[in-house]
Structure 1
Amino acid sequence: MIITNFKDGNMLGDLSFRPFEEHGIEEESRLVLYNNVEGDFSHLLEIEPFEKAKIDLNTLESHFDYKFKYQLKKNGKWTDHIKYKYLKPEQETDKGIKYLFYPDPTSQHLIIVFQAINKNPGYNYIRTLKDIKASKLFIKDDYGEDELTRSSYYLGKNRTNNIEEPVHELILRAKRTLNIDSKNIICAGSSKGGFAALFFGYKYGFGNIVAGGPQVLLGNYLGKGKLEGSSSILPPILKYLAGEVSQESIEWANGLMETAVRSLPDHDPKTYIHVGRGEPHYEEHVLPFIKMAEAKKNLEVDLGEYNTHSELSVHYPEYLKKAVGKLIK
């Protein structure tokens, strides 16, 4: 595992490589860091037994397209102990928000990607956006308390904003670091990430949104089977957010998006939503959102010819690339 140490005031901290903790290596080892873009070795660092190696992320190329491996010395020669692994420079703010940051100093745009629900929380659409010439900030969500997904929806516990606020602070930090205007920030994500893209984009005045199959009436979605003792993974997320699973909690959560949309009456971001024509999110969430945002002029909905939410993962990546391409050209 790669551990990063967040440096106060900066978006980029240190990468720590710990061969003993990661692979049980108890002897001298060598870290090999390879630059995939340049096609050469970036670092060859010898590490004493039980020690670690640190690399300042600011010393790496901004593409962060690297891979690494550990070697051990056998018969006087360094030989591979593990195969190459791709580098994911995960960092963590002083308030516990985890993220990947890929700055592009040649671009005036920042893409923020929020993750969907997953039993192994991580980062979405890194490969999809790999060749897009823009800075990128991928934000993880593993801050909830349900055992299966740890979802917070980037909001907070018991109707607070104890996750929302530090996530917003992280976005503002990236904005300042890159000296980027809010109108050039693109919020993106699908499903839960689509909810977050719409929520943060409207509430905090960011200029562009590309959402796929988003939840909008969050209470209805998370409250499925609420009072019937359902084994669904969703009600525990609602309990974390609202404090209980009840009809009143469902109504409270349903109102979150409309409050966000109305928080800045004059804000009209370019909003692109993709959803399957026959999948339930269209009628249950996208149509209500269109009504919420009826005073907005920059809303475009793209309907795919499919009927299940699971098919979103097939269709949204290409839509995301095309939409972002239009926004940054």
Structure 2
Amino acid sequence: MEDLIFKRGNKTPIHYRFKKSTRDCQNLLIVMSGFNIPDPTIYDFENVLTHCDSHILWIKDDFNGLPAYYLCNEMSFDIEAGVSSLIMGVTDYLKTNQVSIIGGSKGGSMALYFGIKHNIKNIVTAVPQFNIGSYVSAGTYWEHVGKVMMGNITDCNIATLNGKLPAMVEHSKQKSSHIYLFTSPTDAQYPTEILPHLPLFSSYKNFNLIESKSSLISEHSQVMGYNLRLILSLIYQFENGISPFWGHIRNGNGWGKN
């Protein structure tokens, strides 16, 4: 698949990949990437979407070899503006209102952020971080990313980044998106990233919460893989114009156990 570059004059270029739909599918699926090791900038979901009929837009979070949460460099949010322009441009090119967006962890944060920002119909987000600034602050594994995003890692810059996603969820006037949030109380990030922010979704009538608790889940990175078949089932339904309402469900063999 060809690597493409969205150029915007002297502004930050956005790297992406695009696949045209098969059959008569009108759905556009946008894929946001999480942190990966050893290369934190690779595309997610390249292999598992082989059987999808959607148009697929993969957006790369790669700016001089490092991710930036698709947002900023030295607190300049030109990257965010570029990603938004790419999303709007591809949507306009395809002339479709059937749009879905998906991501896990960092990608889940940004699937939620850009999904709500652009009133995307279907948003699939797994184990997102809400406290973005804190996640890349001094002393964390991704401190080097935070230094590039913020320029200087200060309490003020951390607070600004921490407020981005919660503010988008809370203050958006568009509340009709079908949101599917996958999480797990086994995830160490659950008490700080998920639980305190669930009330923000109280006015979203199509909000779905999927909580997984299983002997197969012991850490953050396993939640999305555990639910991959459920996530693919959602995508296949989106491709047929179906956005199911699940409400609050729990899956896995760990419920009712100490």
1:326 equivalent in structure 2 = 237
What stretches of structure 2 of length at least 5 have no aligned partner? 241-258
Given that residues 110 and 137 in structure 1 are in contact (C-alpha distance below 8 angstroms), is that contact kept between their aligned partners in structure 2? yes
Match in the other structure for 1:107:
25
The answer (yes or no) to whether the contact 1:272–1:323 under 8 Å persists in 2 is no
CA contact (8 A) 2:75 2:149 kept: yes
TM-score, with normalisation over the residues of structure 2?
Answer: 0.82
Report what 2:197 is aligned to: 289
Alpha-carbon offset, residue 318 of structure 1: 2.2
| Distance in 2 separating the partners of 1:156 and 1:246 | 15
Structure 1: any 5+ residue segments left out of the alignment?
1-87
1:133 counterpart (53, 58, 68):
53
Matches within 5 A, 1:193-232: 193-223=107-137, 226=138, 230=139, 232=140
Could you say what secondary structure the match of 2:189 adopts?
helix
Instruction: Tell me how far 1:194 sits from its aligned partner.
Output: 0.3
Mapped partners of 2:202, 2:84: distance in 1: 26
Give the superposition deviation at 1:299. 1.2
Residue identity opposite 2:112 in structure 1? L
- Matched residue, 1:298: 206
Check 1:313–1:291 CA distance in 2 against 1; reply closer, same or farther (3 A cut).
closer
Contact 1:157 1:243 in 2 (8 A): yes
Letter in 2 for 1:286: I
1:274 to 182, 196, 199: 182
User: How big is each residue's C-alpha offset from its partner over 1:238-293, in whole Å with a ceiling of 9 and x where there is no partner?
Assistant: 22223322222222211001222244323331000112231123222122331222
Count of residues in Structure 1 that have an aligned counterpart in Structure 2: 230
- 1:178 aligns with one of 77, 85, 94: 94
SS in 1 for 2:124: strand
Greater Rg over alpha carbons, structure = 1
Structure number with greater CO (CA < 8 Å, separation at least 6) is 2
The equivalent of 2:15 in structure 1 is: 98
- Partner in structure 1 of residue 243 of structure 2: none
Secondary structure of 1:94's match? strand
CA displacement, residues 170-191 of structure 1 (integer Å, 9 cap, x when unaligned): 111211221111xx21110101
- In structure 2, do the counterparts of structure 1 residues 187 and 289 end up closer, same or farther at CA, with 3 Å as the change threshold? farther
1:53 equivalent in structure 2: none
Residue 256 (structure 2) aligns with: none
Offset at 1:128?
1.4
User: Aligned equivalents of 2:153 and 2:126: distance in 1?
Assistant: 27
- Asked whether the 8 Å contact 1:189–1:196 carries over to 2, the reply is yes
- The corresponding residue for 1:78 is none
**Amino acid across the alignment from 1:298:** N
Q: Could you tell me how far 1:233 is from its partner in structure 2?
A: 3.2
* 4+ residue segments displaced more than 3 Å: none
Q: 1:60 — aligned with what? A: none
User: How far apart, in 2, do the equivalents of 1:250 and 1:292 lie?
Assistant: 20
Alpha-carbon separation, structure 1, partners of 2:59 and 2:111 = 11
Higher strand share: 1
Q: How far 1:313 sits from its partner (Å)? A: 5.0
Partners of 1:205 and 1:264 within 8 A in 2:
no
Deviations 1:97-150 (A, max 9, x none): 111101116222110001111242221112212112211101111116xxxx60
1:235 to 143, 146, 152: 143
1:55-104 residue CA offsets vs partner (Å, 9 max, x unmatched): xxxxxxxxxxxxxxxxxxxxxxxxxxxxxxxxx21111114211110111
Amino acid at match of 2:135: Y
Tell me how far 1:213 sits from its aligned partner. Answer: 1.1
Aligned CA-pair RMSD? 1.9
